[in-house]
Amino acid sequence: MALEKTWRWFGAKDSIQLSDLKQFGVEGIVTALHHIKGGAVWPIDEILKVKQEIESHGMRWSVVESLPVSEEIKICSPKRAELIENYKTSLRNLAACGLDTVCYNFMPVLDWARTSLHYTHESGAESMLYNHETFAAFDIFILARPHAAQDYPIEVVEKAKAIFDGMSEDEQNTLAFNIIVVTQGFINGTVDNAATFKQDFLYYLSRYSHIDKAILRDHLSLFLEDVLPVAEECGIQLCIHPDDPPFPLLGLPRIASTEEDFEWLFNQHTSLNNGLTFCSGSLSVREDNDLVAIAKRFAERIHFVHLRNIKKLGERSFYESAHLDGVVDMYSVLKVLLEEQRRRIAEGRKDTRMPFRPDHGLKILDDFNKKSNPGYPLIGRMKGLCEIAGLEMGIEKGLEVWS
pLDDT at 403: 61
Q: Which of 180, 207, 234 is the last residue of a domain?
A: 207
pLDDT at 184: 85
Q: Which of 207, 235, 255 is the last residue of a domain?
A: 207
Q: Do both 243 and 385 map to the same domain? A: yes
Note the helical H segments in 98-165.
132-137, 154-165
Looking at residue 325, the DSSP 8-state letter turns out to be S
Catalytic residue among 87, 204, 208, 376: 376
User: Using an 8 Å Cβ cutoff, are 31 and 10 in contact?
Assistant: yes
Q: Do both 218 and 77 map to the same domain? A: yes
pLDDT at 187: 67
β-strands 237-240, 101-104: how paired?
A: parallel
Q: Which of 207, 232, 264 is the last residue of a domain?
A: 207
User: Does residue 324 lie within any of the structural domains?
Assistant: no
Number of structural domains found in the chain: 2
Phi, psi of 163, rounded to the nearest 5 degrees:
-65, -45
Looking at residue 17, the DSSP 8-state letter turns out to be -
Q: What sign has the CA pseudo-torsion 228, 229, 231, 232?
A: positive
Q: Do both 380 and 291 map to the same domain? A: yes
Q: Do both 279 and 194 map to the same domain? A: no
Q: Is 376 a catalytic residue?
A: yes
Nearest to 381 by CA among 324, 323, 332: 323
Catalytic residue among 279, 319, 323, 367: 279
Q: Do both 186 and 302 map to the same domain? A: no
Residue type at 192 in one-letter notation: D
User: Does residue 356 lie within any of the structural domains?
Assistant: yes
Q: Do both 202 and 337 map to the same domain? A: no
Catalytic residue among 241, 243, 244, 303: 241
Catalytic residue among 14, 139, 359, 367: 359
Q: Do both 85 and 45 map to the same domain? A: yes
Q: Is 97 a catalytic residue?
A: no
Residues 6 or more apart whose Cβ sits within 8 Å of residue 124: 364
Catalytic residue among 132, 303, 323, 360: 360
Catalytic residue among 132, 219, 303, 306: 306
Write the CATH number for 81. Answer: 3.20.20.150
Spacing of C-alpha 144 from chain mean position: 27
Q: Do both 98 and 125 map to the same domain? A: no
pLDDT at 401: 73
Span 274-326, pLDDT tens digits: 999 999 999 999 999 999 999 999 999 999 999 999 999 988 999 999 999 99
The parent domain of residue 161 ranges over: 116-207
Residues of the chain with pLDDT under 70: 186-187, 403
Q: Do both 244 and 302 map to the same domain? A: yes
pLDDT at 185: 75
Q: Do both 263 and 374 map to the same domain? A: yes
- Give me the half-sphere count of Cα atoms (radius 13 Å) on the Cβ side of residue 32: 21
Beta bridge partners of 210: none
User: Does residue 282 lie within any of the structural domains?
Assistant: yes
Q: Do both 83 and 125 map to the same domain? A: no
User: For 220-264, what is the HEC assignment?
Assistant: HHHHHHHHHHHHHHHCCEEEECCCCCCCCECCECCCCCCHHHHHH
Note the helical H segments in 38-179.
44-55, 71-74, 80-96, 132-137, 154-165, 169-177
Span 115-124, pLDDT tens digits: 999 999 999 9
Residues 205-236: b if buried by 16+ CB within 10 A, e if exposed:
beebeebeeeebbebbeebbebbbebbeebeb
Q: Do both 340 and 300 map to the same domain? A: yes
